[in-house]
Chain A
């Protein structure tokens, strides 16, 4: 009996030892297991440290420029969409011949609520704005006051311009006189760090949005340096201010802003018209351009305007109606293909995209001086002839507002200007009045679906 008991004990001991070992092994594995769960992303960093240092804030600022240059923004579609929209469909100057439905809807001014092109311009613009807001929220970590001022100004430049285009597309034109009551777009001025009820913002009025745009761009002009590589400068801010003032019919503001750019002497017209385009570096007349190279940057204008020979889709062709507007000898024709069916302004998809050129400043100053019968900087006639001389056209002897607008239309063709000029000057867009419901974009369906505080624009009545 005793022996058996001993054997049993031995067995138990052995069993216990093995069990202990097993338990120990499993326990060790378990300890290792818990630390196994501490994984970190490799292609991202945590938001809590992204804005902790000056270097990071400067990099986030570059991220805001990146958003601003997205293909749905100034990477091309903001310009292209305006040009498509501006056509008289019964006798179009530009034809949409591509297969994408969304630009075609914009071209026909029969925009469906779910048009993804429209919703992407909305969401990408607010993305750029959020990036700018992130920068503006973290200015404290920048020690050097001068740097801080400039960073703040650059972020406000991006935010101000983004709101300016949002309100033009999604709101009635400022020129209709009801800006104080017309719904514009929601103003979001702080970065998003979480989602809650306050994320469901309401639309501000057109006037409120314009006030914010003016505030941002005025601050930007004051805080930006006169030269800043390919980035925003005080001149770029002034140039955008001139566009904002034009939309508001504030011709003195527009004139003075344009004059500040011209009189700075920082820019000069390129020798030839075609020389202003397809440049890897900013040309002498680029007041502001999106920086593009083969590695980096979108170029939607190339995608849609350029002929397949130039790597584009060739989706937008030029009609004889447009060609008939040019005088004989106008060298601006040189910026078209030899068969005149497509523009060559956007043939190089690795080139910078001019957004505001010095030529526009002359035209703006000329128009404002003409309307105000003032002679700030130069006479309207002198400014127009400066533009005409560069493209090989004879000098005019007299000039009026219509002639200036006609010159402006050709000079800035395919650069996204004509729609906004038609709306501010209250000219029909084809068969539509300048402020017709069809010329205002719908608030995207996805936004209406997720934010019950938004109201839809008139004319878009489905759910």
Chain B
């Protein structure tokens, strides 16, 4: 018995051991393998390996290896999903195998890419709207201030222009043309699902760019929703397109650390030619002699009672001292910029993270101009269960912008070129001279500061819950907090600018809190093989509050004091607050039948506090259809065509008024004689509402030769009605303008995007060409004429911003008079002859600041470890009006230094030239006219990047995952006929919806050379 018991016990123990071991096995089956590139047979790191239908997953390591622990049940019946950016995802049934090696193929055409859409994402193949997608890899090494500059020329139909070469300045972005005259024309920017603040909070007329607070290195992808089908889900803010920015997130797997360091230096893309000292005196002496006000007609005469010497002594003292100053050179500085990026990402199946930090220290090409950004980001995603996902995106940034005065100020460095070469820049002791015809802007270099410091926090939290496998609800809350402090100090040495002999300082503080709360449900029922349905329903609420405080003081004890607290008198102080809110209800249904026939319906109802009491809510529907012809059986035999889709969309989007209270009858506060005052400030318009844009889009997407060539072609029309216009009203009403919904405009265009894979293998060469043509016409302004600055107008029958001014007819060869075509009120009519009286010349449309077409061409090459990217950007068919021309190129009318082409002035009867006779103070040809309009087309080598990736063999020894050395050149070459500094221009103080393509002492763009190294651990 005892023995039996022993045996029994042994058997029991054995069995128990077996059971335990078995159960241990059952819980710990491991599947592993290596993932390699099908082409190169090289291992692929960071591939996500996921057990289908679960959150179980890992990422492959540097050697492409992965290991995943499964249950026996999972090992037997599970399916593994292998996915990585840029590769075609693969599904493999495990079937009990513990070793599964996988080859992934490069996704050449990227047609299977997922694109981000409003409140969700979609497989690109099945999208019926028009969306441009730009990946981080396209712009990550480009040394820019703000990410939009890096996107310039890369998305068809998206026109991007920086106003000038100052750092931190406003950037104009137009998606398929301008669709508003007085409302915003900038697209809606949405970062990780939350609309962000893009208001310009600059204290002066030159806009700053709040998007520069966003670290470009954090961006994973940019999706630009262009047509109504894509944008109508954003309702009353969709007309200008929507830019969806997705930041990087972590993937399960080993922690990957990336360090990038780059150093750069910049110079202006162009400098202009100005008169030197002797040329200046020669020209002005001649101008003095020939002035109609000259009493004798020679140098011995007087003009307005002044002798030549008396006049020169009054205006340009020092003229007889032999000075020969090159003022233009003094506007620029040598500079060095540095950037350090560090990021880490990784996690496991339950929790993924991405952490990044950046220091970006940029020095401008213009003296005293700098921009520094320090930013950090944490993106966290957590799968609490197989149904509940939570996440948080948080970014903090601090930017410091050493700003300059606007282009319209004597103190902005580029206006130094207006100073005569015969005056000196510096006194003998090295301090800037204050004896110049206009105030010497160099005094600002040491005597004043203008610093804008922004703290920016973008945060979003989300929770997503699968109520049923096919029904997910998601709630998101986001907040964008922008704190901006603008500090200016003006010392005693710039008293001639400020009028304050003992200095002045001011401080302006802005806080914008912009929150969004939104919830939406996504329902994807299983309806059998032939039907795919995707429903989204939700609502969103948003409110933005902006507080502004401003205080200034005058009279410091001395120039060492710079804060307002140290002034003798606080001469101004103010505090304001304003708010707007928006509520939207949206829905979308995407339906696919038989994998070939696509239908999408969407709609949004938006209510806005900015709408008038009589029209508080608007409805914005859109519909689109698509047909994937290449999935039809009749196409199966056409091997050359790998993909073919036709699509069409139609829909309505809106644009809200920019004014928070534009519909109201308002009285504002004022003061007189120390007492408070009330004054009427706005006439009411209770019918005020959104602008409506009806957009149609027809497109074809095609893939040829196994997607070696892919192309997208789109034609669109955008008809905008109920334009929000600050309509000029008779000044006799006591008001100048009223915000009204009147007028129509239209944009029509054609877009083309083609990508070809020219060679594969060792030498990989791809070419991408994009082309966007847009025609803008204002079709109805209800008879109004709306002025911009200088000669820019909104007029019926003309494109927005048309240059409407006198038409210059050149110089009368007989007498040197500047001539203008008389023309007629109806337009150009040369039968009416010419006149030398500018007031007798009718103004006519003589230029268009909008390009006929624009786009870019990228060639990417890679060979072994080397990669080369050459990106040209082009803009064609636009004109530029140089508002500074009436001073710079005025045949020595006043004492501004003149552009060198003015030496070609008329001198003797019979002279054929375009530069009129020099006649001091006589205004011969200096009126605003087409004399100062120039062709603004250009072709630019926007970026050239050459990189070298160290081979993996060399890296493994030193423990690195990757290492890349690179050079990037920005704006290296510019081909243009524009006679000014740079054709990418719109002077900062005047830039607006209407004032386009206007130059006025605008700083040229920077040409930047960058070298950098990128290391991965």
User: Interface 1/0s, chain A 314-339, versus B by CB < 8 A?
Assistant: 00000111000000000000000000
Contact call B668/A195, Cβ cutoff below 8 A: no
Contacting pair B609 A62 (CB below 8 A)? no
Residue from the list B674, B682, B735 in contact with A296, Cβ < 8 A: B674
Q: Is the CB of B784 within 8 A of A293?
A: no
Chain A stretch 128-163: residues in CB contact (< 8 A) with chain B: 129-131, 133-134
Q: Give Cα A355–Cα B481 distance, bound, in whole angstroms.
A: 50
> What residues of chain A lie closer than 8 Å to B683, measured between beta carbons?
192-195
Nearest residue, chain A, Cβ from B734? A130
Interchain CA distance A50-B675 in the complex, whole Å: 17
Q: Are B678 and A60 in contact (CB under 8 A)?
A: yes
From B499, B730, B735, name the one whose CB has the most chain A CB atoms within 10 angstroms.
Answer: B730
Q: How many residues of A contact B (CB 8 A)?
A: 90
In the complex, whether A263 has a CB less than 8 A from a CB of chain B is: no
A422 to chain B, nearest CB (A): 20
Given A33-B541, A59-B678, A126-B732, A22:B521 Cβ within 8 A: yes
Contact B609–A65 (Cβ < 8 Å): no
Contact assessment for A321 and B305 in the assembled complex, using a CB-CB cutoff below 8 Å: yes
How distant is the Cα of A348 from the Cα of B120 in the complex, in angstroms?
64
Bound complex: CA A229 to CA B740 (Å): 42
B527 in the interface (beta carbon within 8 A): no
Whole-angstrom distance between the Cβ of B301 and the nearest chain A Cβ: 12
| Residue with the greatest number of chain A CB neighbours at <10 A, chosen from B293, B735, B787 | B735
Contact in complex: A29, B661 (CB < 8 Å): no
Q: Does B634 contact A (CB under 8 A)?
A: no
Contact A67/B679 with A44-B664, A195-B733, A200-B730 known, Cβ cut-off 8 Å: yes
Q: Which of B579, B679, B733, B825 contacts A39 (CB 8 A)?
A: B579
Which of A76-84, A87-95, A389-397, A402-410 participates in binding chain B? A87-95
B468, B667, B675, B927: most-surrounded residue (chain A CB, <10 A): B667
Q: Are B583 and A34 in contact (CB under 8 A)?
A: yes
Contacts of B840 in A (CB 8 A): 461-462
Produce 1/0 per residue, A243-279, CB < 8 A to B: 0000000000000000000000000000000000000
* B284 vs chain A, min Cβ distance (A): 16
Which of chain B's residues 822-858 have a Cβ closer than 8 Å to chain A?
Answer: 825, 838-843
Are A319 and B735 interface neighbours, CB within 8 A? no
User: Do A36 and B665 touch across chains, with their CB atoms under 8 A apart?
Assistant: no
A200: B residues at CB distance < 8 A: 730
Chain B 795-836 interface 0/1 with A at a Cβ cutoff of 8 Å (1 = within): 000000000000000000000000000000100000000000
Q: Map CB proximity to A onto B666-683 as digits: 1 under 8 Å, 0 otherwise.
A: 111111111111111111
Whether the Cβ atoms of A34 and B607 lie closer than 8 Å is yes
Task: Give bound CA distance, A177 to B247, whole Å.
Answer: 77
Query: A193 and B684: CB pair below 8 A?
Result: yes
Q: Taking the complex as formed, is B467 at the interface, i.e. its CB lies under 8 A from any CB of chain A?
A: yes
Specify which chain A residues have a CB less than 8 angstroms from the CB of B305 in the assembled complex.
91-92, 95, 319-321
- Give CA–CA (A263, B305) in the complex, Å: 45
Give the residue name and chain of the B residue nearest to A36 (CB).
Answer: B581
Q: Are A446 and B731 in contact (CB under 8 A)?
A: yes
Contact (Cβ within 8 A) A295 B684: no
Check A44 against B673 for contact (C-beta < 8 Å).
no
Chain-A contact segment, one of B92-100, B257-265, B392-400, B568-576: B568-576
Chain B residues positioned under 8 Å from A43 (CB to CB): 576-578, 668-669
Stretch of A370-378, A412-420, A447-455 contacting B (4+ beta carbons < 8 Å): A447-455
Instruction: Report Cα–Cα, A20/B608, bound state, in Å.
Output: 28
Interface residues of A in 304-322 (CB under 8 A from B): 308, 311-312, 319-321
Q: Are A446 and B668 in contact (CB under 8 A)?
A: no
Scan B534-561; emit 1 where CB is below 8 A from any A CB, else 0. Answer: 0000110101000000000000000000
Q: Name the residue on B nearest A459 (C-beta).
A: B839
Shortest A339–chain B CB gap in Å is 12
Q: B677 contacts A65, CB within 8 Å?
A: yes
B416 to chain A, nearest CB (A): 15
Query: Provided the pairs A95-B304, A192-B733 are in contact, do residues A112 and B839 lie with their beta carbons within 8 angstroms?
Result: yes
User: Are A29 and B731 touching (Cβ within 8 A)?
Assistant: no
| Beta-carbon contact of A69 and B672 below 8 Å | yes
Taking CB atoms and an 8 Å cut-off, the chain A residues in 100-128 that contact chain B are: 110, 112-113, 119, 122-123, 126-127
- A193 near B539: Cβ-Cβ < 8 Å: no
A199 adjacent to B730 (CB under 8 Å): yes
Can you list, as one digit per residue, whether each of B325-358 has a CB less than 8 Å from chain A (1) or not (0)? Answer: 0000000000000000000000000000000000
Chain B interface residue count, CB cutoff 8 Å, equals 83
* B519 contact from A25, A60, A67, Cβ within 8 A: A25
Q: Assess whether B619 is interfacial by the CB under 8 Å rule.
A: no
Q: What is the distance, in angstroms, from A58's C-beta to the closest C-beta of chain B?
A: 9
- Assess whether A462 is in contact with B673, with CB atoms less than 8 Å apart: no
Say if the beta carbon of B580 comes within 8 Å of chain A.
yes
Is there contact, CB below 8 Å, between B733 and A44? no
User: Contacts A33-B541, A44-B667, A450-B785 given: A22-B473 contact, CB under 8 Å?
Assistant: yes
CB-CB contacts below 8 Å: A34-55 with B: 34, 36-39, 41-48, 50
The residue that B672 contacts in the complex, of A47, A62, A133, A447, with Cβ under 8 A, is: A62
A39 to B734, CA, bound (A): 27
A99 to B496 CA separation, bound complex (whole angstroms): 14
Q: Is B690 an interface residue (CB 8 A)?
A: no
In the complex, whether B438 has a CB less than 8 A from a CB of chain A is: yes
Q: CA separation between A59 and B669, bound complex, in Å?
A: 9
State the CA gap A113–B521 with chains docked (Å): 60
Cα distance A97–B310 in the bound complex, in angstroms: 13
Considering the chains assembled together, what is the distance between the CA atoms of A95 and B661 in angstroms? Answer: 46
CA distance A224 to B521 in the complex (A): 71
Residue pair B677, A44 in contact (C-beta under 8 Å):
no
Q: Check A39/B728 contact, CB under 8 A, given A127-B734, A450-B784.
A: no
Which residues from B are CB-within-8-Å of A15?
467-468
Question: Which of B585, B675, B787 has the most chain A CB atoms inside 10 A of its CB?
Answer: B675
Question: Are A294 and B734 neighbours in the complex by a CB distance under 8 Å?
Answer: no
Q: Does A340 contact B (CB under 8 A)?
A: no
Say yes or no: B679 contacts A131, CB within 8 Å.
yes
Residues of A within 8 A of B667 (CB): 44-47, 50, 60, 63
- Whether A450 lies near B673 (C-beta < 8 A) is no
State how many angstroms separate the Cβ of A301 from the closest Cβ of chain B: 14
- Is there a chain B Cβ closer than 8 Å to A297's Cβ? yes
Q: Which residue of A lies closest to B498 (CB)?
A: A311
User: Looking at B517, B579, B681, which has the most chain A CB atoms within 10 Å of its CB?
Assistant: B681
Q: CA A26 – CA B293 in complex, angstroms?
A: 78
A56 proximity list for chain B (CB < 8 A):
678
- Shortest C-beta distance, B712 to chain A (Å), equals 37
The smallest C-beta distance from A109 to any residue of chain B, in angstroms, reads 12
Q: Are the CB atoms of A41 and B839 closer together than 8 Å?
A: no
User: Is A97 within 8 A of B314, CB to CB?
Assistant: yes
Given the known inter-chain contacts A186-B732, A450-B729, please indicate yes or no for A30 contacting B585, CB distance below 8 A.
yes
Residue of A42, A113, A134, A195 near B577 (CB, 8 A) is A42
- Point out the residues of chain A lying under 8 angstroms from B246, CB to CB: none
A33 touches B583 (CB 8 A): yes
Q: List, in ascending order, chain A residues with CB within 8 A of B608's CB.
A: 37
Nearest-neighbor residue (CB-CB) of A95 within chain B: B304
Nearest-neighbour CB distance to chain B for A394, whole angstroms, equals 31
Quote the shortest CB–CB distance from A73 to chain B (angstroms).
Answer: 12
Q: How far is the CB of B551 from chain A (nearest CB, A)?
A: 13
Known pairs A39-B660, A46-B667, A47-B667; list 14 more (Cβ under 8 Å).
A26-B539, A32-B541, A36-B543, A39-B661, A42-B579, A47-B680, A60-B680, A130-B734, A134-B680, A195-B683, A195-B738, A230-B673, A291-B674, A295-B671
What would be 10 A-B contacts, judged by CB atoms less than 8 Å apart? A42-B576, A46-B664, A47-B667, A91-B305, A97-B315, A130-B735, A131-B734, A193-B665, A296-B674, A462-B838
Chain A interface residues (CB < 8 Å from chain B): 15, 18-19, 22, 25-26, 29-30, 32-34, 36-39, 41-48, 50, 56, 59-60, 62-67, 69, 89-92, 95, 97, 99, 110, 112-113, 119, 122-123, 126-127, 129-131, 133-134, 186, 188, 191-195, 199-201, 229-231, 291, 293-297, 308, 311-312, 319-321, 349, 444, 446-447, 449-451, 460-463
